[in-house]
A and B are shown apart, each in its own frame.
Chain A
Amino acid sequence: MTAQKAAPAPAAPAILPPGVSASDFAGAIREFIEILGAENVLTDADHLAPYTKVMVAESEDLHRPAAVIMARTVEQVQKIMAVCNRVRVPIWPISTGRNFGYGSAAPQSAGQVILDLRHMNRIIEVDPVMCTALVEPGVTYQQLKDYLVENNIPLWLSCPAPSAIAGPLGNTVDRGVGYTPYGEHFMMQCGMEVVLADGQVLRTGMGGVQNTNAWQVFKWGYGPYLDGIFTQSNYGVVTKMGMWLMPQPPVYKPFSIRYEKDEDIHDIVETLRPLRIAGVIPNAMVFANVMWEAAAIMPRSKYYQGTGTTPDHVLEEIKAKEGIGAWNVYAALYGTKEQVEVNWNIITGAIKASGKGRIITEEEAGETEPFKYRAKLMRGDMTLQEFGLYRWRGGGGSMWFAPVTVAKGSETRDQTELAKKILGEFGLDYVAEYIVGMRDMHHIIDVLFDRSNPDEMERAHACFAKLLSEFGKRGYAVYRVNTAFMDQTADLYGPVKRHVDQALKRALDPNGIIAPGKSGIRI
């Protein structure tokens, strides 16, 4: 990167919400300014630029916002809803806006107004006794971590890999995952406050009960459980979220297991699944492949100067010279010394009995990467090390292809083979990890491409579409997807699901003002 190469700010074409006249939109902007103050209504190219940068394989013009507005209070969000309903201005809510590889901060379609809640960032409560927190959308993991440390509260977070800049509310409402025993974040969420399109403020779970003190401890409340419909959806703007935090254990023991062969993925799953289901391995462990590991420590140009798919012989060389496995397991134990010891013996016994896999302890790994950042993630600590993925091929393009996998060896083998084959057809790499959930695994493949190369970007787009359809034919679908492929993904879940999603949308947001197109849902 040199000073000469810096791209000048592209002048953002003035863009309007679809179907809204310039004068009506100008009127809406004036009203937003009245509600929020001029400094919180952004319309100039310079201020919009950060919200326009995307990593997905299509033009940013398809995701260009008409404006960005920043609210600080629930009342402001309510007033914004009234304006949007009247003028039919669509708004795209973001919390910390770091949804990299899923669409970043930009809306699903051009001309939406981004409602940025980054300034709504109060940590409303942390209860050290019940181990719960209640936060606003703009709170970052870093901020919450600092709060815990500075107040000497021995609780741990669970974060996605870009922990230092993302936030719990945005991550959880998009049903993101982390790496601790609390890694399935939506499962550990408890109670929400949601501003609905009609301006009503809903509190879910126990939250509607006057004087309740159980909002953050009992998820279900009474009657239909509603929190789920406010995740990966566009039925409301979430303005508060409760969550459970993990007590810091007396002993924390991260470890890695290295496997030499690609096909070992089968035995890894068969050996470790029973331990995960039984709770012997309590965390959302990962099985990372050679390229994911390599990317964490170097660009591929260190071993390969070509374009296209990295040849297998190069990967073999990297494995041998860098000491990286074909698959690399990261898991951890948490508890008292005695608990950890018992479980450690069970795990080492199981690995030994399986006849493969080399265990690497924290003592052996020392300060080396990627062990170090994995150990941080498994205790919910701050890191950005995984951005190393983007120097593997360079060019800043990334889309997560993340099919759900049944935690069975045979299925991982099939999915891995299929993904590798399709990526290879388009000259791309199989850079992958499995994140182990309670019964499922998220098979996370980073479709990396050079976004500054139009041909490669086009190939990446075609590749992603094919991954979705070919996996779909075999009964596999992704758990979450970027803004370019939300409709294709919604189709995989069937017409009835789409119909019900739409019926809910029409009931809760009849003018379709909140995030049209999110998860393929429109009025």
Chain B
Amino acid sequence: MKFRPIALAALLTLGAAPAVHASPTGVWRGSNEAWEKVCSRCHLSGVGPELRGRQLPPEYIKQVVRHGFLAMPAFPHGAIDDATLDGVALYVSKSRLNAPAKPAPAKKL
């Protein structure tokens, strides 16, 4: 599709309707996706603290996500909605830690 003002108008109306969005429309498909594409990039790589297996209370997790904590950025509702965050918090809280998170090996060549 080539962009034209008319096409845009159509898009705007379509976009206003609540639809089941695929991820490329900017809405999380579920808590898993948010965890994988955001949280885990730091919390499974050793950049941020290991969270799994600590039975952290979901309320606490949500609080830190919304307010940030030292180097941890704060995430507003526009970036992650309450329902998705509820899911992430529950997942982290109940997670088990079989093997400790392994930071990627440091370079030593």
Contacts and interface: CB of A to CB of B under 8 A. Distances in A.
B11 A385 contact: no
Nearest to A5: B69
A384 interface: yes
Interface string B41-79: 110010111000000110010011011111111111111
A27 interface: no
Interface string B87-103: 00000000000000001
Interface in A139-164: 139-140, 142-144, 146-147, 150-151, 164
A442 to B, nearest CB: 22
A350 to B, nearest CB: 21
Given A116-B76, A371-B107, A391 B71 contact: yes
Contacts of A46: 66
28 contacts: A1-B64, A6-B69, A50-B68, A50-B77, A68-B76, A74-B12, A97-B78, A97-B79, A104-B73, A123-B24, A138-B26, A143-B23, A143-B25, A150-B24, A211-B4, A293-B107, A297-B103, A298-B106, A322-B106, A323-B107, A368-B108, A369-B104, A382-B41, A384-B42, A385-B47, A387-B48, A390-B70, A396-B72
Contacts of A142: 37
A387 B47 contact: yes
Contacts of B79: 50, 96-97, 118, 165
A323 B108 contact: yes
A321 to B, nearest CB: 8
B3 A395 contact: no
B83 interface: no
B73 to A, nearest CB: 7
A369 B103 contact: yes
Contact of A51 (B38, B48, B76, B103): B76
Contacts of B41: 164, 382-385
Contacts of B67: 7, 9, 49-50, 53
A134 B108 contact: no
Interface residues of B, number: 48
Interface string A339-378: 0000000000000000000001000111111111000000
A452 interface: yes
A127 B7 CA distance: 15
Contact of B107 (A6, A146, A213, A370): A370
Given A1-B49, A143-B23, A297-B106, A395 B70 contact: yes
The winner among A47, A297, A452 for most chain B CB atoms within 10 A is: A297
A247 interface: no
A383 B8 CA distance: 32
B19 interface: no
A440 to B, nearest CB: 29
A329 to B, nearest CB: 14
Given A1-B69, A124-B11, A146-B23, A368 B57 contact: no
A426 B109 CA distance: 34
B22 interface: yes
A164 B38 contact: yes
Interface of A: 1, 3, 6-7, 9, 42, 46-47, 49-53, 68, 70, 72-74, 96-98, 100, 104-105, 116, 118-119, 121-125, 127, 134, 138-140, 142-144, 146-147, 150-151, 164-165, 211, 213, 215-216, 293, 297-298, 322-324, 360, 364-372, 382-385, 387-388, 390-391, 394-396, 451-452
A451 B22 CA distance: 39
Nearest to A167: B26
A451 B77 CA distance: 24
Nearest to B71: A390
A237 B2 CA distance: 24
Contacts of B75: 50
B42 A387 contact: yes
A379 B72 CA distance: 26
A213 B73 contact: no
A142 B23 CA distance: 9
Contacts of B38: 164-165, 384
B3 A6 contact: no
Given A215-B3, A384-B42, A53 B73 contact: yes
A68 B77 CA distance: 11
Contacts of A140: 26
Nearest to A125: B3
Nearest to B40: A384
A322 B26 CA distance: 40
Nearest to A384: B41
A3 B73 contact: no
Given A97-B76, A124-B11, A387-B71, A368 B109 contact: yes
B76 A6 contact: no
Contacts of B37: 142, 164, 382
B105 A369 contact: yes
Contacts of B48: 387
B66 A50 contact: yes
A323 B66 CA distance: 38
A394 B71 contact: yes
Nearest to B70: A396
B28 to A, nearest CB: 10
B53 to A, nearest CB: 14
A127 B1 CA distance: 8
B104 A372 contact: yes
A42 to B, nearest CB: 8
Contacts of B15: 72, 122
Contacts of A298: 106
A6 B107 CA distance: 34
